[in-house]
Each structure stands twice: as structure tokens, then as C-alpha cells.
Structure 1
């Protein structure tokens, strides 16, 4: 590998390389050597930007968690439009995309990584905990608009939706679950809380 060559946006380049390895080969194949080889840079580049490989992985997960903010904003803006079930179905598809599932697999597989992420996510599973907050925020908005019953426990509904969504999407080879099956499941979870026609 060439050395002494400046890399623009080395951090993002390394993150993108890690994502490609994760999607192609799975969490067990994610090593510093695999990431730097995929990024086309020397191994020292990673260690110049991160204390060690677990620090790199923790920052990768944190970066992906912050990207949920964009999804959260879009989902909150959808409150009052379309249907609650349709909005939630689309949100679960976004939350449990291939990359998110790969990152969840990585977090589950590495104890040291989960320990480092406790500063960001003190309880629960990183990424799922934050996704639950996103869904809960949306459901509160819909409750404020009257499309969810006032007595609905939106936190419990958000937990149920994320847990169910994870079971529906995880462990599949290739294609995600049938969207209509996801919609029916979402409709079942929120059936007692939704007021819309």
C-alpha cells in the first residue's frame, strides 16, 4: 500500500469501506486489515484517526446512530399525512435496512464494542434504542393530532414495533420481508390505538 499519500475525508472513506465489508462479508469479517484494504489505504491511516479498532467501530456505530436524526425528522413531518400504519411500515423498512442489520449484528457480536457504546446508549441495544425513540416521537406527534388515542402507551407501542420489526427483518438472506406482511403486522400492533378511518 502506498504511504505518505494524503487521504481526503479519511474517516468517511474508512466508514464507507467498513460498511461495504459488513454488507458483503458480515460482522465476523470486519477487521482493521479488511477495512483498510477495502479503503485502499495503509493500516496506519486508521490508527492515525482512531485510538484502536474498537474505537473505530464505536465511532462508526455512533455516526450511523446520528443518521437516524434525518429519518426522525422525516417521520415526524409525516404525522397527520397518509396513514399511521403506512408511515410506520415505511419507517420500519428504513430502520431495518441491510446496513442497519449488519451494524446490529456487529454490536451483538462484540462485547467490547457494546461496552464502549454505553456512553452513547446506556441501556438497551445501540441503534435499536435510538430507533425506538424515533418511533415513540412519531407516535406522540400522531397522538397530539388525534390519530392515536389519548390513552395509548406510545413508549410500549414503539418498543413492540421495534422488537417485532427486528424479528421480521433480521436473519433473512437477500430480500427483506414482504411489505404487505410488514404492514399487516404493524396494523396488528397498533390496532387498539389508531383512530383513523
Structure 2
């Protein structure tokens, strides 16, 4: 591998390469060698930008989790429009897209990575799921203020049900994402008791 190649944005190039490895080979295949090979750069490039591989993974996860913030903003912008169930179904489809789903087991099985994420920011130990929880909770709270969710709804429990159930629906890498019908049925059932009338 050439070592003198100038990289306009080496960090982003390495993050994108890691994402491709995650998507086609899974978290167990993610090593500094597979990342630099996929990026087409010398192995030393990664170590010039990151103290070690866990530092690289920490920044990768935080970078990808930050991207969910714009998607969370889109969910908040949908408050009061469409139906609560449809808005949530669309959000879960985005939140549990291929990249976030590939990152979740990476976090789960790497103790050092979880520790670094926790030190990087509150709730960071389960980044992605924490982002999803925050986004869904904020959306439901806003809808409750508009009266589209009943006033006594337990937002925390409903959020956990939607995030946990949504993750289970999307997590099967073999069969792929759930059908629109299955996802809509799940979300509609989850929110039925807290919507004052069909919306």
C-alpha cells in the first residue's frame, strides 16, 4: 500500500470503509487491517489519526450516532402531521437502517468500546439505541402536548416498547427488514391504547 498518498479527509474515508466492512461482513470482521484495506490506504494511516483501534471505533460510533440527530429532527418536525403510528413507523425504519443495526452488535460485544463511549458522553455506552430512545421519547412527548397522545400516557414505557420491539423486528440480518405491513401492525398496536381516537 502506498504510504505517501494525500487523503483529503482520511478520518471520513476510514469511517466509510469501516461502514462497508460492517455491512458486507459484520462486526466480527472489523479490524484495523480490514478497514485500511477497504479504504485502500496503508495501515499506518489509521494510527496517524487515532491512538488505537478502539479510539477509531469510538469516533466511528459517535459519528454515526450524530447522523441520527438529523433524523430525530425530522421526526420532531412531523409532530401534529399525518398519523402518530405512520410517523413512528417511518422513524423506526430510518433509525434501524443497515448501518445502525450493524453498529449495535459491535458495541454490545466490545467492552472497551462501551467504556469509552460512556466516558465520551452520558448514555454513550449504548449509542444508537440511546439516540433512538431520546428521539422517540421527545416525539411522543410533543404529540402528548398536542393531545394526539393521551395525557396520562407512560412515555418512558411506550418508548422502550417501541425501541426494543423495533430493534427486534429489524435485527434479523438473514431475513432482512420487516414488511411494511408487519411494522405498521406492530406500531399501531403499541400506540393504540394511548391514542385518544384513530389518527
Please indicate the TM-score interval, normalised by the length of the shorter structure.
Answer: over 0.9
CA distance in 2, matches of 1:124, 1:174: 28
How many residues align structurally?
197
CA distance in 2, matches of 1:124, 1:151: 30
Give 1:1-197 correspondences, 5 Å limit.
1-119=1-119, 120-122=121-123, 125-197=126-198
Cα displacement (A) at 1:3: 1.1
Cα displacement (A) at 1:6: 1.2
CA distance in 2, matches of 1:62, 1:8: 21
CA distance in 2, matches of 1:196, 1:186: 15
Is contact 1:17–1:36 with CA below 8 Å preserved after alignment? yes
Is contact 1:83–1:196 with CA below 8 Å preserved after alignment? no
CA distance in 2, matches of 1:59, 1:123: 11
Cα displacement (A) at 1:172: 3.0
CA distance in 1, matches of 2:94, 2:186: 16
Is contact 1:121–1:129 with CA below 8 Å preserved after alignment? no
5+ residue gaps in structure 1? none
Q: RMSD over aligned Cα, in angstroms?
A: 1.3
Is contact 2:117–2:125 with CA below 8 Å preserved after alignment? no
CA distance in 1, matches of 2:72, 2:27: 26
**Cα distance per residue 1:112-134 (max 9 Å; x no partner):** 11111112244762210121010
Scaled by the length of structure 1, the TM-score of the pair is 0.96
The 3-state SS of whatever aligns with 1:184 is helix
CA distance in 2, matches of 1:186, 1:112: 34
Cα displacement (A) at 1:95: 0.8
Change (3 A) 1:153 1:71: same
Scaled by the length of structure 2, the TM-score of the pair is 0.95
Mean Cα displacement is larger for which, 32-41 or 184-193?
184-193
Cα displacement (A) at 1:4: 1.6
